[in-house]
Chain A
Amino acid sequence: MTTKTARLTGSIIRYVLLTLLALMIIIPILWMLSTSFKTEPQTYEPKPSWLPDPFSLVAYQKFFSTYSFGRMLINSLVTCLASVVICLVFSCLAGYGLTRFRFKGKKQILSFLLLSQMFPSVMLVVPFYAMLSKIHLTNTLFSLIVVYSATNVAFSTWLLVSYFKTIPLELDEAARVDGATHFRIFYNIVLPLVLPGIAAVAMFVLFNGWNEYMYSSVLVSSDRLKTITVGIIALNSQYQIKWNDLMAASAFSSIPLVVLFVCFQKYFIAGMTGGAVKG
């Protein structure tokens, strides 16, 4: 009886604590949505109301008409998807190579993957700018694709290496006996088995690119090529900040990723689980 009550209290305490913490996540997000449906005067009420009254879509309309955020969304999308593809191709090959073969320098490569996480982006941005302007590539989305791929490839490889490790070598050996080439084994046998890991890494790189600000703000200057984060932060530095517009832009630029995550969360968590088993 007493253990039962203890268990019940334990579970009540858990729900209360978890719900309190969950509210601290949810309330700010709801506040963003609520503000985004207000009109500008409504955001200057001395006592802010939780629900927009009247409910207005004006900030979302301005998202496309006044600020041309549509263009920026496409820029971000193109840049991120391209860097995801490049990152995946490179890091899958490396993940296979680093777990299937013994060769000189392998240990150094593995430790460099982690070491590169210590390179400050504020340090890399100047050399990137200098290098890319030398070959006239600044102010192109291509420059961002290159930089995002480079800055993410090490960590993606690191995640994928631990994922490739979980696939038993016996599979490779069996295929070798049957006369399959290394590339065939990689492409037809091992790759399908690491798909959850690949999905997780893809989302990771996508989020990093979507999130990125510094490289994008330095390497791209023309309005036509701005990415979404740069566009949003630029809105913030205007003389008169329109919070409803800003929150609409924030919501609109985050929701695609949130939806993507909720749809694929099972994959994502499974992938991270596989990848994170061993550092």
Chain B
Amino acid sequence: MRRLTSQKKLENQRPGYAFVAPVVIMMAGLLVYPMLYGLYISFFNTNLVSRWNFVGLKYYIEAFTDPEFYSSVLLTLEFMVLVVAGHFIIGFYLATQLNKAFRGRIGYRIIFMLPWFFPEAVVALLFTWILNPMYGIMNSILNSLGLISTNVSWLGSQELAFPTVVAVCIWKGFPLVMTMILAGLQTIPSELYEAAEIDGVGKFAQLRYITIPSLKPILKTVLILDCVWWFKQYTLVYTMTAGGPGTATSLISLSVYGTAFNDLRFGKGAAWGILVFFICYLINILLKAVIKDDD
């Protein structure tokens, strides 16, 4: 097992502050302050230039009765659950496979990490092109296999746009989850499995009693991060559908961006942004409560 430094032996000394100060100052100035500034803006009806009318909590109260906000949050939650589930199912399967020794393992490992290294903008455009209703290769393949007879407008149809966007987001995001799980798997000592093997413990029981408990801390952290990262997803979906058709893929980040930069209602946008933060925070609390740490 990896050796972890014990807290007791740590020196209680001032130099600690000196080492940590640069990061703390940077985070205070460039993360906490902007966030608080955003909170401040959210109390105003403002275009940031000429209009600064104090409205108090109006936008927060309105958000709770605004069907646009509600449906956007619900849609984003649904999106997040599907995308994260996809990441974990594929990521977990691949990580367990790639953790075994077999010929070509390095090759597969490189291939499965590739989507991570293509920028979201590129992935979005690539799939927009692949799924192009007229000239895209997807329809052409399905046509030649006899699976469809007329061209499908994947991103342009009310019903298909959402599942299509989810699929592309799974494609883009699973490598990170896979790598983290693989990293976790490599810290489990193989003696544990050998001992289990000798005692005649089945594969499923090994998974249940060795793999999952050992991975729990890392699974929890990756789950939380993946959830909050994808809850805030913007670039991929904006580039592929811009939230459409209609509001079929109008995730909360797109709504916030639109409210702020298209409608120039920065106060309302900021309020919604703060609410997005709180929702992410709630997701984090909820997941932490559900998956309890043993230590």
Give A contacts to B, CB under 8 Å.
Answer: 11, 14, 17-18, 21-22, 24-26, 28-29, 31-32, 35, 43-48, 89-91, 93-94, 96-103, 106, 109, 112, 114-124, 126-128, 130-131, 146-147, 149-151, 153-154, 157, 165-169, 182, 186, 207, 210-211, 213-214, 218, 228-229, 232-233, 236, 243, 246-247, 250, 253-254, 257-258, 261-262, 265, 269, 272-279
Q: How far is the CA of A253 from the CA of B269 in the complex (A)?
A: 32
Distance (whole angstroms) from the CB of B188 to the closest CB of chain A: 11
Name B35's contact: one of A24, A103, A127, A258 (CB within 8 Å): A127
Q: How far is the CA of A20 from the CA of B34 in the complex (A)?
A: 46
Binding site secondary structure of chain B: helix
Among B3, B29, B119, the most chain A Cβ lie within 10 Å of the Cβ of: B119
**B38:A279 contact, CB within 8 angstroms:** no
Q: How far is the CA of A210 from the CA of B117 in the complex (A)?
A: 9
- B11-19, B53-61, B62-70, B157-165: which lies at the interface: B11-19
Q: Chain B: how many interface residues by the 8 Å CB criterion?
A: 101
Q: How far is the CA of A169 from the CA of B182 in the complex (A)?
A: 27
Q: How far is the CA of A112 from the CA of B261 in the complex (A)?
A: 29
**B218:A28 contact, CB within 8 angstroms:** no
Distance (whole angstroms) from the CB of A189 to the closest CB of chain B: 14
**B23:A277 contact, CB within 8 angstroms:** no
Tell me which residues from 167 to 184 in chain B have a Cβ below 8 Å from any Cβ of chain A: 171, 179-180, 182-184
For the complex of A and B, 5 pairs with smallest distance between CB atoms: A97-B19, A101-B16, A123-B273, A279-B221, A150-B30
Name A157's contact: one of B14, B23, B222 (CB within 8 Å): B23
**A103:B34 contact, CB within 8 angstroms:** no
Q: How far is the CA of A279 from the CA of B113 in the complex (A)?
A: 22
Name B23's contact: one of A94, A246, A247, A254 (CB within 8 Å): A94
- B77-85, B124-132, B194-202: which lies at the interface: B124-132
Q: In the complex, which residue of chain A has the Cβ closest to the Cβ of B48?
A: A130
For the complex with contacts A22-B112, A101-B19, A169-B9, 7 further pairs of A-B residues with Cβ separation under 8 Å are A116-B31, A120-B253, A149-B26, A154-B27, A236-B125, A254-B122, A261-B110
Complex contacts, A167 vs chain B, CB 8 Å: 5
**A130:B37 contact, CB within 8 angstroms:** yes
Using known A-B contacts A100-B10, A126-B38, determine if residue A254 contacts B119 with beta carbons closer than 8 Å. yes
